[in-house]
Structure 1
Amino acid sequence: MLKKFLKYSIPSSVSMFISSLYTVIDGIFVGRGVGSLGLAAIAIVIPATIFLLGLATMFAVGGGALVSKNFGSGNKENAVEVFRQAFKSIIMFSIGISFIFVIFAEPIVTLLGATENLRSMSAEFLRYYSLFCIPNLLGIVLNGFARNDGRPRLAMVSTIVGTLVNVLLDYIFIFILHMGVKGAAIATGLGQVATIVIILPHFLSIRTQLTFGNVKLKMNVIKEIMSIGFPSFFAEIAFSIIIFFYNLELGINMGESGIAAYSIINYITTNIYLMLLGVGLGAQPLISYYFGAKEMKRMLKIYKFSLITSTVVSLVFVLACFMFGSKFIGLFTGDAQLINITYNGLNITSLAYIIIGLNLSTSMYYQSIEMPKFSNLICSFRSFIFLPIVLFLFAHFYGINGIWAGMIFSEILSFIAINIFANIKTNTKKAISV
């Protein structure tokens, strides 16, 4: 059982870690090639890019859970139908969002909090990033279905290739062609194109169980996909809300230097966040499969493995931040004052990820057994309910360090609350008895 869990969770976590390097590499090159204003400009746009990531993850997880459940219950035809509905839907969403974001880029970044100095640069990044909406979203969705079709290593390889392409193009566009944040956005988009080039042949081969085909959209199927996957979307939106509240509070208390510091922290912590998410994504196909087969003990065992793995990974990350944090930050900026501000913030906020891993694994488990209401509850606790209150109070009483520590206490309160409102074993019994 452990071997099977590792077969899925390791490639998934590595894949998500490599995927996060898209963002980190952009940050390093922008910080060195454009400067701190470039970092702050991209930080403003992060909520919009996370919205797109959340939309894609919603279809990947919701569709993937249904596919694996149908495989587990022996219903291959339904699995193929779910895949085709998800594929067509994400293409249509991508086209619509790309159109809106390109045309209304400036009003959007203004709404997200861009100052006069940042507005044009933030809008430029969002506009060019949005031109690649289809590959940016489709790459995530196809990777998710490949994992649920028994090819987690292929999903990992496609992500690695995309990252290598992104690294090369980032260097060329920013340092040789001097394209600024526009170059970073284009490099990221072309990296995702490379990912699709690698993953697409799987769905055209005879090895796949999931095949393409022209289908008429069925709202009942799409609704089911979105209902199960919505907590993944909500989780990303929650992350965006967390960033928004932090940008707002830091902007008030520290100005642009505070936003730039938090931008660097996000570049670093995005790696661990996505790795922890990868643990849950790796567990999801197995939990959903055993859910379809109604094997409760195996479902709970996979969940236990995901909790242990998340805790170990997050502890290693916290130690790395304390030991090498200043060196990580130095990759993004040479400004000594900014390095000191950021290092202090990183050491405090990194502690929150020990609990974040537990919350993410629990949320993914409930999605896998088609009980998304509890996943939504976790996201609500983490973003809308506890964080704004904690941030406001801690900023008032403890200043800057209070702002950095806000996430730790918000996550702890969320973890306590969900365990009061929901019991894993009881809800698993309810799910398999339906």
Structure 2
Amino acid sequence: MKQLSNLKEFMYYTVMNVIGMTGLSCYILADTFFVSKGLGANGLTALNLAIPVYSFVHGSGLMIGMGGATKYAIFKGQQSRKNAERVFTNAVFTGAVMMAVFFLAGIFLSGQIASLLGADQTVFAMTKTYLKVILLFAPAFILNDIMICFVRNDGNPKLSMIAMLTGSFSNIILDYLFIFPMKMGILGAVLATGLAPVISLCILSVHFMKKQNQFYLIKTPVSLDLVKATVQIGFPSLITEVASGIVMIVFNMIILNIQGNVGVAAYGVIANLSLVVTAIYTGIAQGMQPLTSRAYGHGDTKTIRQIFRYGVLTMLVISIVIYGFTFGMAEPIVEIFNSGHNVKMHEIATTGLKLYFIAIPFMGFNIVSAMLFSSTEKVLSAQVVSLSRGIVISIPMAFLLSQAAGLYGVWLTIPITEGVVTVLAVAFFGRGFRGEK
């Protein structure tokens, strides 16, 4: 009976989060589409230059949200209500400090940041505008990330999913309205993005209006130990967000030297599709997290292992379906994004898609494993897995394999990197779930 209960909970949490994360990844594709159509190449350039800053803001919110919510779920499992509320209060305090830093940077440093990111005279004004508004909306982004994570861990993954989807789709609608009928240019594009978390927060407020919440702000001194634990546990979420941008920049540089703009365009197709797959695996991992953290708080290692097995099995089934579909339908998939019917791009992207996506079962295992390590306070293991797949192994591997095998080496970088990290993750499991932190 307990096993059936665990499976039912796993399916409920996972389905809600996979839908929410998939919707989020699709809105990113739509956002890019509207900007490119409405503002042309310069608008797309400004957007791409500013994306790393957005990734850092969003990653910071996820770091605090995932780290704080994980500790919250663990304390709930231990029946320590006071500590659970202390975690939430300290997470909000930590988030407020980061909100202030980003907000002030938006007011005083947006021009300097635009120059630092490489914006030339052609796109400087648009890049500066995009950065300023994104940074001014940083409090909304960070608070939204924190609240989504806490509401999910407070037993309401459905509301978290609805909030994510509503924010995402409102961004798409507002993008269209602001860029085309209202002709607001880059300001309209970034305003649509900035309003999305505000709308999401309005949806999340239902959790409080219906008095379903079990976490509250309380009067308590700031605990540096809790802040440190929150940041350490949530750090892999920050790395995942920031590293993806860094890896894309490095890959673009390498491919540009090997195959020129057509190669970069082909990689853009592959990278965007990969984001959707990554979002699905992240949804599985985030669905597992409240359950494994609660079981960890109870000291229930059997349930932890059971939930992890469900996660890995789900990931493997999805991986087989996705890769089978991608391998068989690579050519028509590429043509959806190849509006100019460029033969060279078609060939490069089709081959690249088949090779690059060999990585997906290893990628899924590593994402699920990193979340398991974080949710059971195996901080070092989680950070090693996240850093290795995000930066430490992937970037040197890209340079090495591109020198050895050209574009084929680039496509095989991620499969080999994720395979190596999988071996590392499996080795960490040998220490059990209650080893060193």
TM-score, normalised to structure 1's length?
0.90
Equivalence for 2:425: 418
Work out the CA distance in 2 between the residues paired with 1:418 and 1:45.
33
Once the two structures are superposed, residues 294-313 of structure 1 have per-residue CA deviations (whole angstroms, 9 ceiling, x without a partner) of 11111011111111222223
Equivalence for 2:287: 282
Letter aligned with residue 141 of structure 2 = N
Work out the CA distance in 1 between the residues paired with 2:175 and 2:331.
23
Q: Is the 8 A contact 1:47 1:243 kept in 2?
A: no
SS of 2:31's equivalent in the other structure is helix
Work out the CA distance in 1 between the residues paired with 2:119 and 2:336.
24
Closer, same or farther: CA 342–388 of 1 in aligned 2, 3 Å: same
Pairing partner for 1:389 from 381, 396, 405: 396
Deviation, structure 1 residue 13: 1.4
Pairing partner for 1:69 from 46, 68, 74: 74
Which stretch shows the higher mean deviation, 86-95 or 338-347? Answer: 338-347
Letter aligned with residue 83 of structure 2 = N
Once the two structures are superposed, residues 303-335 of structure 1 have per-residue CA deviations (whole angstroms, 9 ceiling, x without a partner) of 111112222233333344445556666666633
Q: Is the 8 A contact 1:12 1:152 kept in 2?
A: yes
Equivalence for 2:3: none
Equivalence for 2:372: 365
Equivalence for 2:17: 12
Work out the CA distance in 2 between the residues paired with 1:326 and 1:201.
45
SS of 1:178's equivalent in the other structure is coil
Q: Is the 8 A contact 1:43 1:259 kept in 2?
A: no
Equivalence for 2:134: 129
Work out the CA distance in 1 between the residues paired with 2:333 and 2:136.
31
Work out the CA distance in 1 between the residues paired with 2:207 and 2:134.
27
Q: Is the 8 A contact 2:102 2:136 kept in 1?
A: no
Q: Is the 8 A contact 2:21 2:282 kept in 1?
A: yes
Deviation, structure 1 residue 135: 1.6
Once the two structures are superposed, residues 258-300 of structure 1 have per-residue CA deviations (whole angstroms, 9 ceiling, x without a partner) of 4454444333322221221111111011101010111111101
Q: Is the 8 A contact 2:61 2:142 kept in 1?
A: yes
Q: Is the 8 A contact 2:100 2:139 kept in 1?
A: yes
Equivalence for 2:307: 302
Closer, same or farther: CA 274–114 of 1 in aligned 2, 3 Å: farther
Work out the CA distance in 1 between the residues paired with 2:281 and 2:123.
32
Which stretch shows the higher mean deviation, 391-400 or 141-150? Answer: 391-400
Closer, same or farther: CA 173–242 of 1 in aligned 2, 3 Å: same
Closer, same or farther: CA 374–382 of 1 in aligned 2, 3 Å: same
SS of 1:34's equivalent in the other structure is helix
Once the two structures are superposed, residues 104-159 of structure 1 have per-residue CA deviations (whole angstroms, 9 ceiling, x without a partner) of 33443454455665555444433332222122222121111011100000111111
Which stretch shows the higher mean deviation, 282-291 or 174-183? Answer: 174-183
Deviation, structure 1 residue 172: 0.8
Deviation, structure 1 residue 221: 1.6
Letter aligned with residue 126 of structure 1 = L
Equivalence for 1:221: 226
Closer, same or farther: CA 123–267 of 1 in aligned 2, 3 Å: farther
Equivalence for 2:412: 405
The answer on 1:233 being equivalent to 2:238 is yes
Which stretch shows the higher mean deviation, 328-337 or 62-71? Answer: 328-337
Identity %: 27
Equivalence for 1:46: 51
TM-score, normalised to structure 2's length?
0.89
Equivalence for 1:355: 362
Work out the CA distance in 1 between the residues paired with 2:193 and 2:318.
26
Deviation, structure 1 residue 89: 2.0
CA RMSD of aligned residues (A): 2.6
Pairing partner for 2:109 from 82, 98, 104: 104
The answer on 1:83 being equivalent to 2:67 is no
Deviation, structure 1 residue 20: 1.8
The answer on 1:201 being equivalent to 2:206 is yes
Q: Is the 8 A contact 2:64 2:230 kept in 1?
A: yes
Structure 2 residue runs of 5 or longer lacking an equivalent are: 1-5
Q: Is the 8 A contact 1:166 1:190 kept in 2?
A: yes
